[in-house]
Structure 1
């Protein structure tokens, strides 16, 4: 297998892993009022083609559920800073909260948004004041500790646990892994043993999140082997559905169709381009551009140099 083929295969598998990852972690759509009918335009250009993160919700008593999903929603819009003003972002978050939540829960979420923004502003100053760390691991641990201490100025303990508990678990685990991998006194067997112990202590949801992309790659290796042995689309679908879920199998089947369509268009483009280049008179830039426009969108055309 040549280098280009390896890269293309790796890219296809990475896309598959990403598609499945989101299929495994796609939250149930939050209930919305019948007349809300949200129309998710691109709030900023860099968000084109996306929908707001965060499955924010209220409980059976219409009280706001304070969890990581709320922070995900805030961070989704705050990523647009630089393209839109903070006031515009705060206003848009408020609209999104009103679309998803009942009035009391939405008001509580907006109060938390104000606290969250104050915390983020203060965090900038705290990070500037941190001393230069002796190592990357020391720096990560000092930053996490400073963040955790600062939160108590802006949130109750329940709010801290809800908004940041999951991310703190992930960060603490990541730092521990950094320390193990950086410890030159460990033998390979000792290092593997310590990493396995960390795996065993992970919450089930976080362990699933860490393992999902790797599981997809293993599955897609088996898919390629089955296809080489003559397996059809139905057999592949059954394999994926049994290993993962019918919804994940549907998404991966759609990815297969998109990839097959892309390869078909690329093959046709390469053949027509060779024909143009083989003429006695070299093709003009306009002719080559016309060929690109006939088969590909402007965004897709950015990928064409890899196939020329």
Structure 2
């Protein structure tokens, strides 16, 4: 089970979002995670890059009758005798308190809960509950500690209840998408049900901290699907509508990331078009500098040079390999292996099979 929790409908709609194809390029521009606000003087942090994930709670219910009694296993810090999946890992998440030692609810607190809950199955629920409470109380003063424990109890009850909604709409969505299109009415109803459930278990501050950013991405994804499914819009009108949606979003990190992804879409399209027309390295650099600035344009130019160098060596390798295969000698494979080691380092040799398949596919598309 993974560490984090995605909103229940994102897994259904995200496959419809075209921008997912640019993930590899995003690594060139992805900003590092920002740290906790230094104005909050007392904190316990253990950050780890992670996305929201799904946590399946046994015997889902609305939380009624849920027990938080500690198991026979007593913990001091909550980190004793960790289950195998959590051994040799850093605790993900954070506990932030203000100058009055009150809890400051953040998305990192949810990540902390998800970190321990990801071991459900290796440990029973009662043991995990005791582990989380011990961890919180050993790292956090009062009243923040009790406040965090209360929110953890609410979160567990919420996970049990949300599983019923996921089951209901999972089946409905399967039927709704048989035509090949996402039924946005079903998605909207599911969002309403989830919102009501969150209001039942959390206050507004916790809802915003735990789910706010994920909801912004969900809303964006839904709107992209809505635009793509609008058959009355041309491709250029769809692109303009997407850009308009992003421009109207609040100025925050989510908007910045989505705008960057939109720029990456344009980068890929314009790069392919310019290369097809025989653009020079300087022309590509100027286009990229316009979109992302000089440092990113310079890094992409280096990638182009590395790719061109690899491609040249690959063509040399393929020609020599084919000659050896045509001779059909007994030691042909040994000679081919020797050529590979001469032309490519260990990491590059792992790319050869996939790169050859890609070249064949490109050649077939041209025909």
TM-score by length of 1: 0.58
Q: Deviations over 1:259-297 (max 9, x none)?
A: 466546634543453343133326677776777687445
1:4 is matched with which residue? none
Tell whether the 8 Å contact from 1:269 to 1:295 is kept in structure 2 after alignment. Answer: no
Q: Which runs of 5+ in 1 are unaligned?
A: 1-12
RMSD: 5.6
What residue is the counterpart of 2:25 in the other structure? Answer: 17
Which of 272, 276, 282 is equivalent to 1:231? 282
Deviations 1:78-120 (A, max 9, x none): 77888x7687xx69x96xx98xx96347886566455434322
Residue 196 of structure 2 corresponds to residue 149 of structure 1: yes
> 1:147, 1:182 → 2: CA distance?
24
Which of 156, 172, 178 aligns to 1:132? It is 172
Distance change in 2, residues 1:198/1:237 (3 Å):
closer
Which of 58, 62, 72 does residue 96 from structure 2 map onto? 58
Give the number of the structure whose alpha-carbon radius of gyration is greater: 2
Alignment correspondent of 1:213: 261
Residue number in structure 2 paired with 1:170? 217
Q: Give the SS at the match of 1:303.
A: helix
What does residue 103 of structure 1 align with?
Answer: 140
2 CA distance for matches of 1:217 and 1:190? 15
How far did residue 123 of structure 1 move? 0.9
1:137-185: CA deviation from partner (whole Å, max 9, x where unpaired): 122112211111111232222101111123223333443454455456x
Distance change in 2, residues 1:64/1:73 (3 Å): same
Q: Superposition pairs for residues 113-128 of structure 1, below 5 Å?
A: 113-128=152-167
Over 3 Å counting, the alpha-carbon distance change for 1:273 and 1:169 in structure 2 is same
Q: Deviations over 1:220-258 (max 9, x none)?
A: 6777869943539xx959964993474x56865675576
1:231 counterpart SS class: helix
The equivalent residue for 1:10 is none
- Give the length in aligned residue pairs: 275
8 Å Cα contact 2:95/2:103 also seen in 1: yes
Distance 1:52 1:252 in 2: 35
Residue 27 of structure 1 pairs with residue 33 of structure 2 = yes
1:16-95 aligned within 5 A:
17-23=25-31, 26-29=32-35, 56=94, 58=96, 61=99, 64-71=103-110
CA contact (8 A) 1:58 1:64 kept: yes
Query: Structure 2 residue aligned with 1:243, among 292, 306, 324?
Result: 292
In the TM superposition, residue 203 of structure 1 has moved relative to its aligned partner by 1.5
**CA distance in 1: counterparts of 2:216 and 2:271, whole angstroms:** 34
The structure whose RCO (Cα within 8 Å, separation 6+) is larger is: 1
Say if 2:282 is the partner of 1:276.
no
Q: Which ranges of structure 2 fall in alignment gaps of 5 or more residues?
A: 1-20, 50-81, 177-182, 361-367
Give the conservation status (yes or no) of the 8 Å contact 1:71–1:163: yes
Which one has a larger percent helix, Structure 1 or Structure 2? 1
**2:263 and 2:291 in contact (8 A); partners too:** no
Q: 1:219 to 1:197 in 2, by over 3 A?
A: closer
Question: Partners of 2:203 and 2:117 in 1: how far apart?
Answer: 22
- Cα distance in 2 for residues equivalent to 1:171 and 1:37: 26
Could you say what secondary structure the match of 1:27 adopts? coil
Aligned to 2:354: 303
State TM-score, norm by structure 2.
0.51
